[in-house]
């Protein structure tokens, strides 16, 4: 798997330090919520033309890594 997580940044002055897609104010959780609500990747990209398909994959990869870390910390 190609590491895309460098597309996710955390900056204290942007969106209260939430993980955002690099160069935007769109949070990883925003994208996850859009996808979870039933929006397709194409719909998200159409509504947010500044995003690229790699950004969506980076959000999914970032969420998977965080989930794996959370699960292993509870073991």
Residues 19-55 have pLDDT tens digits of 999 999 999 999 999 999 999 999 999 999 999 999 9
Helix, strand and coil in the chain, % to nearest 5: 55, 5, 35
Domains of the chain by range and CATH? 5-73 (1.10.10.10)
Structure confidence at residue 1 (pLDDT): 55
The percent of residues in the chain predicted with pLDDT above 90, rounded, is: 80
pLDDT at 37: 98
DSSP summary character for residue 24: S
Give pTM, 2 decimals: 0.87
């Amino acid at each position: 798997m190609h590491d895309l997580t460098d597309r996710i940044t955390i900056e204290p002055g942007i969106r209260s330090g939430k993980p955002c897609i690099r160069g935007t104010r769109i949070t990883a959780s925003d994208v996850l919520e859009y996808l979870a609500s039933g929006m397709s990747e194409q719909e998200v990209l159409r509504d947010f033309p500044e995003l690229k398909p790699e950004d969506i994959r980076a959000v999914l990869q970032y969420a998977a890594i965080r989930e794996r870390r959370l699960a292993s910390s509870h073991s």
